[in-house]
Amino acid sequence: MGGLISILVILVLVTLQGSFLPLFSINGIVADLSLIFIVMLSLKKGNTYTLLLAAWAGLLQDVVFLDFIGVNIAAKVFTSYIIINFKDYYYKDNLLMTLLTLVYATFIHQGITHYFMTFVDMVDFGYYQVLLNYFAPLLILNLITLIIFYLPLKKFISCKNFYQV
């Protein structure tokens, strides 16, 4: 299990995020399913393959949701890299620490995304407005989604031969 299946899982998650999850949105904002999956992978596996899967998830999101490629790739890879490199200092294998890591990951990811989109003039409002109008609903949806899918994701990722397929 793992490598190929993870590629397909990310493809399904991005498809769900663009098609089915808007039914459960808050002001048009949906949970970032691939970010949740990448956070779990980074915490449980934390290797080069995880960074490649983060780049794959970012590429899919850039193609589906944005007009140009690179924003989500950079945000997801950097977020995954930060989690992989700092997880040994703070992470314990429980739901609370995973939720806290998701809060940090969402903040880092959205900060990078907002910075790049401001840089290319796709967004013209300030970071405070982003925090209130976009980040808070996204964070709530991400946390609720992680609580619901924590155990199945944990079981899926904790396979010993995860990256061998």
Mean pLDDT by 10 residues, the chain (165 residues): 78 90 84 92 86 93 85 93 87 85 91 79 67 82 92 81 56
Mean confidence (pLDDT) of the chain: 84
Q: Residue 49 in contact with residue 95, Cβ under 8 Å?
A: no
Amino acid at 77: V
Q: Name the one residue in this structure whose structure tokens are 């993870």.
A: 6
- Residue 118 has a pLDDT of 74
Q: Quick: pLDDT tens for 27-70.
A: 888 999 999 999 999 988 878 889 999 999 999 998 988 777 88
pLDDT value of residue 123: 63
Domain 3-157 sits in CATH 1.10.730: no
**The model's pTM:** 0.88
